[in-house]
Amino acid sequence: MPSTFFYDSYAVLAYTSGHQGYRKYFDESEGVLTKLNLLEVFYRSLEEHGPKAASSIMGTFSKYLVEFGLKDIEGSMRIRMALKREGKDVSYADAVGYFLSRKMGIRFLTGDRAFRGMNGVEYLE
C-alpha cells in the first residue's frame, strides 16, 4: 500500500512545476490537502502559468481534499503561534496542514524551510 502524505502547497507547486524530487510522492503515493492549499496553489499557478493551467491543476488536485473543523482551527493556530515564537512564520494554510497531518498520523510533505527537521515532516528542497 502506498504511503500517505499531507501535500503542502509548496509540494504541489514544486511537483506541477516539474521538480523531479517530488515526483515519487505524487506518482507512487497518496495524499491529501485542504481547500486552503488549493487556494494558494491556484493563485500561484494563475500568476505563473495562466488561467487554463491553474484551472487544470485545481481540477487535478480537488480529488485530494479533506475538510477540517473548528477544533482543527484551534489546534492549528496554537501550532502557528508556537512556531512563530520560535522565529518560524508559517502561513495559516501551512499551520492547518501540519496540524491535520499530525492528527491523521501522516507525514507533512513540504519544501518550506520553516518545517525542516520537525517531527512528522518529509522535507525536500
Cα separation, 100 vs 4, in Å, equals 13
Task: Give SS3 for 87.
Answer: coil
Taking residue 34's Cβ as centre, other Cβ atoms within 10 Å add up to: 21
Q: Find where cell 473548528 sits.
A: 70
Contact yes or no for 7/32 (Cβ under 8 A): yes
Whether residue 87 is predicted with pLDDT greater than 70 in this model: the reply is yes
Whether residue 120 is predicted with pLDDT greater than 70 in this model: the reply is yes
The pTM (predicted TM-score) of the whole model is 0.93
Query: What are the backbone angles phi and psi of residue 25, rounded to the nearest 5°?
Result: -70, -20
Position 125 confidence tier, pLDDT thresholds 50, 70, 90: confident
pLDDT confidence of residue 2: 62
Domains and CATH numbers, the chain: 4-123 (3.40.50.1010)
Cell of 20: 523531479
Position 51 confidence tier, pLDDT thresholds 50, 70, 90: very high
Whether residue 1 is predicted with pLDDT greater than 60 in this model: the reply is no
